[in-house]
Structure 1
């Protein structure tokens, strides 16, 4: 039997919580009940509606059934499943904690589903800035209650009003008072009409996040720009069950863009305590990208390279984390971890999504994790996350 390091406390740095149908309406101010996101059955299908128009199926947000069996995406989350078909731990915090105890997971970080992993579906479908901000705050208030009710074992990442930098500053400050341990940011705020992340206009936001110890999280698929990878990178000749695999693998490439923009922009010279997390992107691409960042900048913009206080790759070491779950390092996981940095890696399960490690996440990774040094095991499986999230 494979034995993991003693004293291992597992922190899952990426999972998802399907939005309950009444999440917004039960908190909506009088007069807004029919304007905020709510669920309407249309032709036998539950649909999310906002401002009188639909913005997606009120689906399962997962592929795990009530018996804990995982189903193909096309037959579940990407098919006809509604919230009643998915395992209740996908949307019920009490059931999530019960399942975590069963699986040996101490803490989970949570991201949304229907509203867009970075909250981008709200901006895409609403033009009223007052209503938009209200929806963001209602979601963040609801998930703050989930965190408090779990005794800080469930750590949701609040969404930010990316279309308004000043509003992001205020919302980050507000979320800190609610006990949040980070923020969830879209990778492409320019989709919402704001400058891109490398623009100095974002400096007030970075200053607040660094000062309040709120790491900024970039989950794959957290913008309209990045989601074009999922919807357009497959080829018509491919089987319908293969297309989600192509889209899912293509999404991993997107977060390298955020890393490049942040490192080249100089934001970490101005905000050295700012932390960022690349979520559900894996780590195998990181060593090559670190080399490429240094090489390409020196080759193409040596004058700009001299303006930076560090090599671009060094900003990853000092300011970034990445999450992983299924990678083996082709049998050399310790070598891969050492290249990325054992202090910069966190473990995730991606429950209840198609690529999740369900039904036995710890068992599924035990053999490969056991090849790591004991101190490395403890760091990547929990200690790094515990430090980052003040657990």
Structure 2
């Protein structure tokens, strides 16, 4: 089988040190994020949270300093090029990273090595949906940072890529009216993807059931902007016990995506906004068939007392198949259940440059998953569904 070139809907970018100096208006720079290279001390991941200390005498790492935040880059998020046992929580500098982590020209070269035509990249320092700026005290500067990041994303990271790097923008999560304005500002220059929290209440924000976010959903529907929700965009990962090793959170990482999808299916949001598109990133898909079966059963048997009789007129799976996309990169069970997952709903990702990334062996990994599927389905999974989801000007057949 000749695998078509991949359109990856979940990769990541390490922000260059010059980002805010170049893109943040001068009047905000002394209060905005500043890059620093210095030593790192204690660095642990406990109960779904990082515990980090700065130590000038420790091994060097590249940091961002912003208000009270001290944010170091870690080897597990810039893992490509390291052996599996070297993908640790140690600090790392950009000089030690593979240049494709932060340099767009080098990223395109790595995409060529990895059989990838186009890539959608989530942020790192701002966190998956811009929580860093939502938590800041000075919201005037925070808003300027969101806009600066988006300007850098559109004009520098994606600007010279010929459409191969797909812009994914942030919103100011703390103000829905500002969020709507940012959606329209970016849509006017061709952006069709925004990142959002899978579970906004975990960030202290209103739930999707309140109606607070409806202007945001309406703006996304109007502009054709896909709402992309990455695992961990609720600033927490599922854990069975507070002292469980990180491997437990890694195993359960899909749980928040499953909870978020149930939230949306029973919220009425997809009923009110029938052209709104949601995308779950890095959540895999093997869990989806039973989640849909259970949701439909609850709707059929329990909708009256369950509080959804008047807001969800059709079985919840109806809205999933119409409006929700999932993605996978290691999920043979999901591929085996593809008819229930939805051949038009599944997309593929490489997770470059994270520890989970299949780089540089993505083509082999993908072939192992799709062997035995018909050519049309393979094209849908590897690129066609992503092209349709994001409205990309790419050939669905690939090459």
Q: Does 1:329 align with 2:345?
A: no
Relative to the length of structure 2, the TM-score reads 0.87
Q: 2:41 — aligned with what?
A: none
Q: 2:277 — aligned with what?
A: 275
Q: 2:104 — aligned with what?
A: 93
Paired with 2:308 and 2:62, the residues of 1 have a C-alpha distance of 52
- Displacement of 1:181 in angstroms is 1.7
- Displacement of 1:138 in angstroms is 0.7
Residues 1:70 and 1:153: Cα distance change in structure 2 (over 3 Å): farther
Instruction: Give CA deviations for 1:84-103 in whole Å, capped at 9, x if unaligned.
Output: 21211111100010111122
Instruction: Give CA deviations for 1:48-68 in whole Å, capped at 9, x if unaligned.
Output: 1112x2332134531113xxx
Q: Does 1:312 align with 2:328?
A: no
- 8 Å Cα contact 1:210-1:274 kept in structure 2: yes
- 8 Å Cα contact 2:344-2:385 kept in structure 1: yes
Residues 1:363 and 1:216: Cα distance change in structure 2 (over 3 Å): same
Q: Does 1:39 align with 2:35?
A: yes
- Displacement of 1:233 in angstroms is 4.1
Q: How many residues end up aligned between the 2 structures?
A: 368
Q: Does 1:142 align with 2:148?
A: no
Instruction: Give CA deviations for 1:10-39 in whole Å, capped at 9, x if unaligned.
Output: 111111011112211222222322211111
Output the aligned Cα RMSD. Answer: 2.0
Paired with 1:103 and 1:192, the residues of 2 have a C-alpha distance of 35
- Displacement of 1:363 in angstroms is 1.2
Which structure 2 residues correspond to residues 91-170 of structure 1 after superposition, within 5 A?
91-124=102-135, 126-145=136-155, 146-170=157-181
Q: 1:4 — aligned with what?
A: 2
- Could you list the runs of 4 or more consecutive aligned residues of structure 1 that deviate by over 6 angstroms after TM superposition? none
Q: 2:294 — aligned with what?
A: 292
Instruction: Give CA deviations for 1:211-270 in whole Å, capped at 9, x if unaligned.
Output: 11101010101122xx243xx54674x7xxxx3332222221101121111111111111
Paired with 1:63 and 1:234, the residues of 2 have a C-alpha distance of 27
Q: 2:9 — aligned with what?
A: 13
Which structure 2 residues correspond to residues 124-273 of structure 1 after superposition, within 5 A?
124=135, 126-145=136-155, 146-224=157-235, 227-229=236-238, 232-233=239-240, 236=243, 243-273=245-275
Q: Does 1:382 align with 2:383?
A: yes
| Unaligned 5+ runs, structure 1 | none
Structure richer in strand, relative to its length: 2
- Displacement of 1:194 in angstroms is 3.2
Relative to the length of structure 1, the TM-score reads 0.89
Which structure 2 residues correspond to residues 350-369 of structure 1 after superposition, within 5 A?
350-369=351-370
